[in-house]
A and B are shown apart, each in its own frame.
Chain A
């Protein structure tokens, strides 16, 4: 290995390294300001200049390649003199008076530390004015104090080269140079996503998080008591985050150091960095609640309320609320100073003090002790089980909760109640992917890693996934891959950000996916682009698919999908030629009544081209929630125990009965009901236990779901807030948020990651695992776990592919990418290099036919409704609508309408419209957006006051029981044309 002499010591370096790389690797601290790992090197701060023997000038360590035999002095007199002069120049325009006396002992940031380290005198002179720049006034998340800016341009490069957004830049020149936000100071115009990458890289705090400083003061932000490493509670990317705690309060969330090997590589999105304050919201439940009407008579709870039970409350139902006109969002104050008008009082923005849950929602309840609440729940579940049988009870687990909690929960439902009626929101999400992947490859998770998309993939095919909004950190990674040179192809009905960036955008008509993928495969077969070696060696039943796609000529596919035939051909060739194509998909494919078929047709395409089982050719369903993968993996699904082993397999039952010390007969062999089946009339379910879910908003056709929930005999809800579901409950159990619990979660590329608790739950709220353990015991199942680690030990024992997982190993490795079959296994970055886990080791082609969506537009309902997520909100909004920063971005519900449709309807941006489907109607504000194709509208699912799922079609996929969330026929009318309720 080549070596350089660094300050008299021989230091070896890897070829291609800079002097700075070599110095850092050997522990020599060369000061840097503009340099930051992974950012492009610009070498403009000039503080890292070092002496190199034989050079008449000092050279920048950050930009000078190390050469064998080089003799470098990092702290030579010349180098130190330059460093002092650089700091002196910068201090000239920096408000650093506090550094002239005692302040020097307490430097506040990276820059001030160097001032102290090189003992640069601070003279009160300021011949040049303090620096200025765009300030983001009134922004509750990110603000600027540009007098602190030293123009290192890290923020500019982080925005441009890590997040690939390019909001920030250097404006003007010479002494007037400053950091600007877009051309006009409006971050919205510039496409800002509030990811906070700029905050993270700023060396002086010129760009800072506004809310923590405002709420807790700069001192608390600067000097937290402790920092707990955890995992972001939002999407399936599984970003690791650091929770800062001061005085037992979460004050701030930061991301890990960029060079740590985390799935997020140190980034977060806006939700991760700014969406952490909901646990402190005043709506947070702090004591158990029991519905008024339940009274205790000599150790027995009796219902003294009206009979027969039909729940009611002094509040409007979702359906009634939807009829009200929605407010307009407050005016934003943006742009360059001086701003016109008055800046809003920022305290008004703190939604922690703004009531999200109406007081009336609590009025049906009284505060109770844990003993009361638990005994009531245990008594009623016991009674109903005896009265109607175990299958009359169903339980919803949560993809937002840990593996340990999900495991204990499903163990409780299966072991104590004796039913397999346990499911969670994967049903509404990737259940069709799981069904299709199970059928074809006997697997239920991504085959590859996000990292390989960035590093090795040649063509990225994204089908039905708005990655930059729903998984922003992954979205940024994809954009970096495109910058690196990967080709991008997007199949989406909407013109998403990635679709705009794509080489090929296949904008099909809603629900016509099967025709598209069959047509693409047809063309691939016709053009001889099938990977024959792969098909012959690794797959079976190709002939049936070859036959099945024969009728799907490109022309026919073009007629059905509305995509020009040439574009389909181009897309098919791009996909097949690879050489390494990764296949990504999400809700756009799965949330259809034909979802399983759609995914199956995509998998056929993938197998025919052999685009799986190599580094760079990943099969990747992008998972939605932070633990939707794990919750399924550990068996919180109605047909399988851990590792997707069937409940109707007696051998498996025997194993679990032994592990749980139960007689075999205590465990049911009958697969349970799924989320969407539970709420159907005639499901036979009389009692429900809901753990951290909100089915009243997330199920299709809410009006029905809400009506069904109101008729239950008993409902217990374990949650953080009084949700739309919890208000109908008999017992509400206050649980713990992500910051208050320990456990593990699994992200979209199979990383098992550990969450450390940062603070204690508020008031009488308890950790969820403790609640579930006590509930299990009260339901008669002996349950003793010392802590979450003990639960994981048991999961590892009963889960073959997790056998090597333990908290000790997780602490050592940071994250484990399962399968981890043995304690010394390092995990698997990608799977299926040699064979698939099917009985014959081959991937199976499954022929599928195109079926139109179950509800097509007609004269009465001429438009198609699509539903999904926004960047700033999360699912039913329980968390994000109680998060100050996030809610400030999207405070009111909107429907996206194509410009042509808006014109036809006579609707301007912000106007009220009524959207009506065959099931219900709602009033909502229009947002005119060219992301929508004409004839289609989009309503995000997050808003209670205009719940998209009132309108959605509950038709189910025959295999996975997912509803057709993505295609419903609707009618849109401008509100001034109709009377308002």
Chain B
């Protein structure tokens, strides 16, 4: 549902069913709404069987990469001769993305239940939920929920009398975007500087504290109980276009639409349906110019691409971008694209952890060039320089922050070249509000 707007009948409300329903936040409220049945089912099954169920459901990671969840769980060692860990990535910092926030605000027990099922499946005794530092309200709600879960035997030494021990620890981030990168998050959890780690070793081999670890996104884990209760086949059937993309997806829509908010749609829903029907279309008198469909880290789509885009992993790629975290930033014809791209680059320059050369220097350098262009001081060679730098920033670093900075720059220059040229020709001389 597009909370705070009422749910649209064209949505498929699964995770967002109780958004806005404060009664769902408490343990009893949640059990009254059918909660904690999935984990009881899972605890009665062998871990391998849970993993198989997940594989069959087709659930893929909702954090951005879309890696099949069941496959990820199956990569964990089968033997539990040393501790295994589940880390829930609740460090939702991607610009334009705010779906995990609402899950934690309204349905904290859904997340805890998903975590418990995942922990059972990967034989973890300890769950870390790493929550973005700025999410103070979700953190408070989660803290209360975890305490309730312990009090009701849903977490701790003996989860629902199954004999399985699973502990839940909340960890509050300290405000670094990069800690949403899974290996940086592991370093941060260990008390180290949040630098992404070089892979291999992968977290399933050596994750937090050097021990086997699985990292899942909040939305992914929140979907898990539904699969346990209603079955993989049912979940797999939620797919309108490509069978590789199943289930529902929360889309955080922001920008120049009439009703921004979180919308839960079945995989494969056309983007135009989301923008023009559910969100009420563009602001009055304005037309669509560009969409960044997957948080800020993916290529920008122009109106034509957005118009033919289907909202699932494959559909967005076919339309020239990526689904990412599905934080949709919608921009109308009043948008200065050069300025928008500069602002994105500045964000990445600010958030670069600074270990890889290309990222540390490249994000700052491209920002400076864009700044110069905006100030009306750009040179003809600057666009080529930006493209060259972006090329050198793509696919060469430990994590993809550098690629994320390059993506909007490259796609922006390709698709909105005219606006850059206009700046370069000093056809327009806007004053920069901020430098």
Contacts and interface: CB of A to CB of B under 8 A. Distances in A.
Interface in A355-386: none
A45 B360 CA distance: 10
A922 interface: no
Contacts of A43: 198, 398
Contacts of A45: 356-357
Nearest to A178: B354
A783 B363 CA distance: 74
A685 B129 CA distance: 78
Task: Determine the interface band of chain A, counting residues with CB < 8 A from chain B.
Answer: 20 to 34
Nearest to A43: B198
A41 B198 contact: yes
Interface string A153-177: 1000000000000000110111101
Contact of B349 (A127, A150, A170, A174): A174
B198 A42 contact: yes
A44 interface: yes
B395 A169 contact: no
A82 B356 contact: no
Contacts of A41: 198
Contacts of A610: none
Contact of B369 (A58, A93, A127): A127
B358 A86 contact: yes
A533 B358 CA distance: 62
A847 interface: no
Interface string A833-872: 0000000000000000000000000000000000000000
B253 interface: no
A48 to B, nearest CB: 12
Interface string B329-372: 00000000000000000000111111111101111110011001
A81 to B, nearest CB: 8
A567 interface: no
A82 B355 CA distance: 16
A169 B194 CA distance: 12
B392 interface: yes
Given A46-B397, A173-B352, A92 B357 contact: no
A41 B176 CA distance: 23
B191 interface: no
A972 B405 CA distance: 66
Nearest to A177: B354
A82 B396 contact: yes
B200 A177 contact: no
Contacts of A57: 395-396
A46 to B, nearest CB: 5
Contact of B365 (A58, A65, A92): A92
B296 to A, nearest CB: 16
Contacts of A150: 357
A58 B396 contact: yes
Contact of A128 (B178, B358, B361): B361
Interface string A140-158: 0000000000110100000
B356 A175 contact: no
B362 A89 contact: yes
B358 A173 contact: no
A127 B365 contact: yes
A173 B365 contact: no
A93 B193 contact: no
A86 B357 contact: yes
Contacts of A122: none
Given A42-B198, A90-B357, A169-B193, A174 B364 contact: yes
Contacts of A63: 198
B398 A44 contact: yes
Nearest to A58: B396
B364 A44 contact: no
B198 A60 contact: yes
Nearest to A175: B364
Given A42-B198, A170-B354, A173-B352, A92 B361 contact: yes
Contacts of B372: 127
Contact of A175 (B176, B349, B396): B349
Main DSSP-derived SS at the A contact region? loop
A109 interface: no
B377 to A, nearest CB: 11
B361 A90 contact: yes
Interface in B390-410: 392, 395-398
Contacts of A177: 352-354, 360
A17 to B, nearest CB: 14
Contacts of A49: 396
A173 B353 contact: yes
A85 interface: yes
Interface in B192-219: 193, 195, 198, 200
Given A44-B356, A65-B200, A128-B364, A82 B351 contact: no
A89 B357 contact: yes
Nearest to A152: B357
B343 to A, nearest CB: 15
A170 B355 CA distance: 9
A46 B364 contact: no
Given A46-B396, A58-B396, A173-B352, A93 B358 contact: no
Nearest to B346: A174
A58 B369 CA distance: 27
B368 A127 contact: yes
Nearest to B350: A174
Given A43-B198, A127-B365, A173 B351 contact: yes
A92 B269 CA distance: 46
Interface in A549-598: none
Nearest to B178: A173
B299 to A, nearest CB: 18
B365 A89 contact: yes
Contacts of A42: 195, 198, 355
B206 to A, nearest CB: 13
B188 to A, nearest CB: 13
Interface in A33-57: 41-47, 49, 57
A153 B357 contact: no
A89 B368 contact: no
A151 B359 CA distance: 12
A128 B361 CA distance: 8
Contacts of A151: 354-355, 357, 360
Contacts of A46: 356-358, 396-397
| Top 3 closest pairs, chain A to chain B, by CB | A177-B354, A175-B364, A44-B355
23 contacts: A43-B198, A44-B198, A44-B356, A45-B356, A46-B357, A46-B358, A49-B396, A58-B395, A60-B198, A65-B200, A82-B392, A86-B358, A89-B361, A128-B364, A151-B354, A170-B354, A172-B354, A173-B178, A174-B354, A174-B363, A174-B364, A175-B360, A177-B353
Given A57-B395, A153-B355, 19 more contacts: A42-B355, A44-B195, A44-B356, A44-B398, A46-B356, A46-B357, A58-B395, A85-B358, A86-B357, A89-B361, A127-B369, A128-B368, A151-B357, A151-B360, A170-B193, A174-B350, A175-B349, A175-B352, A175-B360
Interface of A: 41-47, 49, 57-58, 60, 63, 65, 82, 85-86, 89-90, 92-93, 127-128, 150-151, 153, 169-170, 172-175, 177
